Amino acid sequence: MVRKTIFGLGVCVVFACNAVMAQNPVIIQYINTYKLLAVQEMQRTGVPASIKLAQGILETQAGQSDLVMRSNNHFGIKCKTAWAGSKVYHDDDEKGECFRAYPSAIDSYRDHSDFLKNSQRYAFLFHINPEHYKEWAKGLKKAGYATNPKYWQQLVKYIEDYDLNLFTLVALGKRKMQDEDKMYAVSDNVKPAIVTTGSGSISAAGAAVSQPVTMIRQAEPVKVKYPEGEFKINDTKVIVASAGTPLLALAEQYNIRYRHLLDFNDIDESEDIIRNDQLIFLQRKRKQGATAFHVVLKDEKLYDIAQAEGIRLEHLLEYNRLQAGQEPMPGQKIYLQKEAGALAFEAGESIMLVNDLAQLQPVAEQEEMPAVAVKHIVQSKETLYSIARKYEVEVARIRAWNRLQKDDLRIGQELLIYKN
């Protein structure tokens, strides 16, 4: 048995059980990040891209679970006796069970494919038409991939809710990536994603390329339709207030002291009316978010994130080692929980700020910010200088973009390179 998937109330709050939105932007972000890799792995081994993406979403809470953050393990595969790689220990069926750990998500996706392809237990699956995702999902459950009795139904729901079978058809050459739903077309101005593999890469069009990089597409804001009246975000009462509404009137309407209302929403005393339609909390926001991190959208500020996630701004700054006035670049992870942030920074992660990039560019270039961030995965014998030459950028810029304190690099380390 690979692992027991528990998809209880906590996960429901994050995903489909959330009544606030029909399509979860966190899940969409996960799909955008890994869809090309899923297509490539299907072409390599035959594991349906729809199944792989659905399993990744379910097993990792769309990339936000504690296990995946500590191990890059996207499919909950346990160590077993044959595993000789890195390991982490995580409570699952039993306390402190051993799980496989990977240098990157790419390694996890490849190992998952090989795990299924090379196991006698799952051999019968590869005789099923890959377009028949329901039969594949039922087969995984039958073979004992997970103990959750609703495992296959949950996979099918993700596949149907997010049209994941499209990516299976893309891998088979029956559809084109351009046919995907507009919710995945994050930006019309951004180049197609390219996903690293050990021997090469694949573009959105399915053509093989040799560049060992991943193009990160910056997410456009997702229009969230909130309920009318009072509802909850992160278990905290909140409303949507219309532009022009006096804050004092809101305080009186909800029987809250005026200064408390300002404090709950990190609003300065000089503000007396709502400038734009926005979330207004009627209780003090939580110290931690409901999920581990938030991916910054285009034009999104830290204050917007604090309101959207129901977390106090001061704690958001603390967990991400930021100061008031600093704003992250789109596509960056902003941590909503203290432990998640601490683990990320201990592992060498950094946050690229808008001002970092602007200060490095000549004034004439500052009007047009880069549309694409290139995620380079450090290979054996690579140095900052060789990477800088590869991308035709200055070493100093790579240091600044990644907040590097020294020039030493480790194999598998991820570096962000910003290109026009």
pLDDT tens track for 315-325: 999 999 888 88
Say yes or no to pLDDT of 112 above 90: yes
pLDDT at 223: 58
pLDDT band at 17 (very low <50, low <70, confident <90, very high): very low
Q: Which helix (H) or strand (E) holds 69?
A: helix 66-71
pLDDT at 409: 81
Across the chain, mean pLDDT equals 77
Highest mean pLDDT among 33-37, 182-186, 192-196, 206-210: 33-37
In the chain, list all ranges with CATH 3.10.350.10. Answer: 231-346, 357-419
CB 396 within 8 A of CB 356: no
In the chain, list all ranges with CATH 1.10.530.10. Answer: 9-186
What's the CA gap between 193 and 202, in Å, rounded? Answer: 8
Say yes or no to pLDDT of 104 above 50: yes
Write out the two tokens for 419.
């290109």
| pTM (2 d.p.) | 0.45
Q: Name the least confident of 39-43, 97-101, 143-147, 201-205.
A: 201-205
Say yes or no to pLDDT of 191 above 50: no
pLDDT band at 373 (very low <50, low <70, confident <90, very high): low
**Strand duo 231-233 + 97-100: pairing:** unpaired
pLDDT at 180: 63
Domain 231-346 has CATH 3.30.750.24: no
**CA distances in angstroms from 287 to 234, 325, 338, listed in the order given:** 10, 20, 9
**Residues 6+ positions from 372 with CB-CB distance below 8 Å:** 190, 191, 215, 216, 217, 218, 418, 419, 420
Say yes or no to pLDDT of 284 above 60: yes
Pick the CATH number of 9-186 from 1.25.40.10, 3.40.50.970, 3.30.565.10, 1.10.530.10: 1.10.530.10
Angle at 380 between CA 375 and CA 383, to 5 degrees: 70
pLDDT at 240: 92
Specify the higher pLDDT residue, 323 or 225: 323
pLDDT at 220: 47
Highest mean pLDDT among 21-30, 252-261, 346-355: 252-261
For domain 357-419, give the CATH superfamily: LysM domain (3.10.350.10)
Highest mean pLDDT among 172-181, 230-239, 351-360: 230-239
